[in-house]
Structure 1
Amino acid sequence: MEVDPMSDRPDCAAAFAAVARRQPDHVALIDEGRNVTFGELQDEIERRAAALLGAGLRSGDRVALVAESSAEFLATALAVWRSRGVLVTIYPSSARDDLEYALDSSDPVLVVASQGVDHDLLVAASKGTPVASLESFAPVKVRGDTAPNPADLREPLSLICFSSGTTSRPKAIMLSARAVQNCADTYGEVWHFGPDDRGIVCLPMAWMYGLASTSLALLLSGATVIVVRRARPELLLEAIANGRATFLAGVTTTFTKLVHHLEDSSLDADALGSLRLCVSGGEPRNEDAFERWRRLSGVPVFDAYCSSECLPLVTYDPWIDSEPVAGAAGRLVPRARLKIVGRDGAEVPRGEVGEALSSGPGIMLGYWHDPDLTREVLTDDGWYRTRDLVRVDHEGYVYVVGRLSDVIIRSGVNISPAEVERVVRLHPGVGEVAVLGLPDEIHGQRVVAAVVPRAMLDVSELDQHVRGHLTGYKVPSEYVVVDSLPVNATGKIDRRSLAAALEQEGRER
């Protein structure tokens, strides 16, 4: 079945097709030693788009992709957009609760899954929705009874991605095709990607950082993506050396682990000589680790600051700044807007701290099926409340100094304390619980649960219970049994006091 001609509406599939026509023989992807040219990838996108239409996909239908990063992931994502579908990205490591929630809430017509995903779990979670293999990709049919997309969106829906924050469930973020393409185009522009670049993508492509900010930014610039499925230091260093990579993006933890590995190995630093740009985002900087990386590799680590609700926002142009400014995330990118407001909603003077509000082409359409939360974070005049405390200096450098929420950031991934607390409380031996993030040298923060038991509590049994309900990265690294939890004047748990007490206890042990 032939795919309908591309419309004039801009999207990443049309943009990629234009690059493929221009340089069909250039390598687009290197995936586990396999080279895929732009022309070959475009042919596979067309095949998959035709298969989707042949299975009954209609414009606006949602297709859930539960898969590891790979060439097939990108081919499928672009094929969904090529056939005018809506892509729903779901982490393949999701535990049962998260997977069921994501599929129930997004209500897709088809689920596409890679081989590594637990098949029995997926079938149970999909509840009758057809499931297709990512690798062979031969969907037979799609559901025809799913709910329509919201009718009041300012632009057509193109992508739903999930991002945990301060709520007890992951938030389903709705993005337009323009927002996704603007993200890719902007990073490609500011980071000066071109056909000579070869960028390592070790971030999950289910995350906007791994999909749009890096993979699509590289591809739409005519550059090559080197897929590394696991951000293990030995795999990354091998990919840099063998692939002659020029670009590496990760979270702070990625570079911290690389530094530890390099300092404990005899690897010749010349193997890193091809790198020209390294970027970290998603969690606070580790200046000590970044400086050690710069000494080892000769390349500084720049920042990227934004959220999936409004991206891109802040990063560095390496042609303007050869070194990052200490403590700063960078400067505002083209087409994005940022203002810093006080508690009264008025803008604060330059240099003062306030809440960051952002806007621009990358602002989300809203949260799927959550108009109340959408109204809470989107102002009437089109600004997104980041809930981050930020200041901007007189040269335009942006400093993220804190967060209004209690969100835990572990290896660049947001973890909601409320979600973890909800699961811990389900155990019959637990009376009260407070979950918080404590400093961790490798992961930035570790998840710690302070538990007041009802009676005798077997901590190993509690841990087993939690692991049965939560995705692995959300499971507490430590359970601390306490007699009571500190509270403030309003009766709420005093998390700051509790964190200080637990840190002091840890230092004394």
Structure 2
Amino acid sequence: MGVVPSALPVPDLLSSRAATEPEHEALAVAGQGALTLREWDERSTAAARGLPGTLQGDRVALVFGGQDWLDYAVSWMAVLKAGGVAVPLPDRAAPPEQAYMIGHCGAAAVVHGRDALREPPAGPAVIAFEELLRPSEAPPPPAIDPLSLAQILYTSGTTGRPKGVAATHANLTSPPVHPKRRPFAHSRHLVHAFPIGTNAGQVMLLHALTAAPTVVTLPMFTPSRFAALIETYAAGTCFVVPAMAIELLNARVQDRHDLSSVLLLGSAAAALPPAVAAELTGAFPNATVANYYTSTEAAPAQTIMIYDGDRPGSLGRAAGGSRLRIAGPAGDPVPAGETGEVWLRAAAHPRAYYGERDDDAFQDGWVRMGDLGYLDDEGYLYLVDRDGDVIKSGAFKVSTLQVEAALHEHPAVADASVFGVPHPVMGMAVAAAVVAREPLALSDVRLFLGGRLAGHELPSKLLCLDVLPRNAAGKVIKRELRRLAEE
């Protein structure tokens, strides 16, 4: 695929915008300060000269905590300016998992923030962020090919070892943004609390480069701090994952904070349960609630759905030049209404796994999402379930998403996840884990769900937990729930 006119190296986006809007605050971290475009450009150029030579495709792992978003943004850009490949890692990952990712990508160096690197790895050079900013006589950064690798992000690993997903500069800068039509122009501030090292966090970092508002984040999410941040900045846009949305609603932050400034509330990383989306429209009285569906592998391809009470379970249609299809086992498109595998395709410059082939996931620019779903007659997407989460119980297939959506309608259920457990007769049986607002028995749950679900969809086992186990991206770790159920 040849270079299209819009394909740019990431540093060019920063330098060109810094030249025209030098004092625009690109990033701010609650309690930590802010970074203008000029400061971001100048500091990252200085930090690039502090890296060990011209990297020319070498991978550099970046380990930073949420309090160090500004230093992380400088380091990430510095690696790209030096011709390297940035590998953001979650600082909350266990040291063996961090070591695996550092080794898997063959990192030449590890740059870290304050107290973020608990066990320095053997092999790569280990550099504290402050060391990058020491005066250096290194040569200026090299010219960068837009089709060269820019970033490797590791998947959340909910079903196995994390996989590295490689993106080129052209992938990260597509689709192009016109300076007079910058995203989220209705806002002066965009608020989020996504961790570094996640796809959602990286999308917010790219918004800091290209979008109209200042991107403001928290070192760590709590419902009250997040709501207070929205109120303090009168933010016009905020982004959450469903787990955060559920926490905000359970804490009833709207009773203590003014959330009326929010005109767009975006949810990413997983499908919003319809009952949760409906509640959000009440808690954020002036907000349009939008559900964004993509994956680390598929970005920037995505579907977008503005919450619609007539289509409460839909994830919308392909957006931004993306393409969407539902395919059968042979990869051929299936008719509207028929369930198949969900595939997404970006307009240009797709991603790929780093260091391994996976023809099952990537085919001719298309990305298998790992979900089962169908399209209605107007092309709106509906998910049935994760391909590996469908519970095959006797002669029936049970959608965990459908059971979860019904559980979220229960007034005593604050959070819920559904999974399969072994059964001596049926093969698998339905189990549910809930965070309950009051004591809850399996019989109560089955009675409530009886009018909403078929008999084979009703849970036969109930776990009541204080909190659901989630990874850094906010996704429930179902293998942990299965372990708890077995115990």
Q: TM-score range by the shorter chain?
A: 0.7 to 0.9
Assess if the C-alpha contact under 8 Å between 2:148 and 2:168 holds in 1: yes
Assess if the C-alpha contact under 8 Å between 1:302 and 1:316 holds in 2: yes
Note the C-alpha offset of 1:36.
Answer: 2.2
2:320 is matched with which residue? 334
Question: Does 2:224 match 1:287?
Answer: no
1:225 is matched with which residue? 215
Question: Does 2:58 match 1:61?
Answer: yes
Structure 2 residues without counterparts, runs of 5 or longer: 137-145, 392-405, 433-455, 466-487
Alignment equivalent of 1:400, drawn from 364, 383, 387: 383
1:504 is matched with which residue? 460
1:84-483 correspondence runs (5 A): 84-119=83-118, 121=119, 123=120, 126-135=121-130, 137-138=132-133, 155-165=147-157, 168-182=160-174, 185=177, 192-194=183-185, 196-212=187-203, 214-262=204-252, 266-268=255-257, 271-298=258-285, 299-316=287-304, 325-361=311-347, 364-371=350-357, 374-379=358-363, 381-406=364-389, 444-445=416-417
TM-score by length of 2: 0.74
Assess if the C-alpha contact under 8 Å between 2:298 and 2:351 holds in 1: no
Alignment equivalent of 1:25, drawn from 9, 19, 23: 23
How many residue pairs get matched?
407
SS at match of 2:368: strand
Assess if the C-alpha contact under 8 Å between 1:311 and 1:362 holds in 2: no
1:43-54 correspondence runs (5 A): 43-52=42-51
Assess if the C-alpha contact under 8 Å between 1:67 and 1:134 holds in 2: no
Query: Percent identical across equivalent pairs?
Result: 23
Give the Cα–Cα distance (whole angstroms) in 2 for the partners of residues 368 and 109 of structure 1: 15
Assess if the C-alpha contact under 8 Å between 1:173 and 1:364 holds in 2: no
TM-score by length of 1: 0.71
Note the C-alpha offset of 1:94.
Answer: 0.8
Give the Cα–Cα distance (whole angstroms) in 2 for the partners of residues 194 and 375 of structure 1: 39
Assess if the C-alpha contact under 8 Å between 1:309 and 1:363 holds in 2: no
2:403 is matched with which residue? none
Assess if the C-alpha contact under 8 Å between 2:431 and 2:462 holds in 1: no
SS at match of 1:356: strand
TM-superposition CA deviations, 1:43-85 (whole Å, max 9, x none): 1111112222xx2132111110111241111121112112211
Please tell me the residue identity of whatever aligns with 1:200. V
Give the Cα–Cα distance (whole angstroms) in 1 for the partners of residues 196 and 19 of structure 2: 24
Give the Cα–Cα distance (whole angstroms) in 1 for the partners of residues 56 and 234 of structure 2: 40
SS at match of 1:445: strand
Please tell me the residue identity of whatever aligns with 2:164. A
Cα distance change on mapping 1:322 and 1:352 into 2, 3 Å: closer
Assess if the C-alpha contact under 8 Å between 2:30 and 2:217 holds in 1: yes
Give the Cα–Cα distance (whole angstroms) in 2 for the partners of residues 224 and 291 of structure 1: 28
Assess if the C-alpha contact under 8 Å between 1:66 and 1:111 holds in 2: yes
Give the Cα–Cα distance (whole angstroms) in 1 for the partners of residues 37 and 416 of structure 2: 37
Assess if the C-alpha contact under 8 Å between 1:166 and 1:407 holds in 2: no
Give the Cα–Cα distance (whole angstroms) in 2 for the partners of residues 505 and 285 of structure 1: 24
Assess if the C-alpha contact under 8 Å between 1:314 and 1:330 holds in 2: no
Please tell me the residue identity of whatever aligns with 2:90. Y
Cα distance change on mapping 1:362 and 1:275 into 2, 3 Å: farther
Cα distance change on mapping 1:322 and 1:356 into 2, 3 Å: closer
Cα distance change on mapping 1:407 and 1:282 into 2, 3 Å: farther
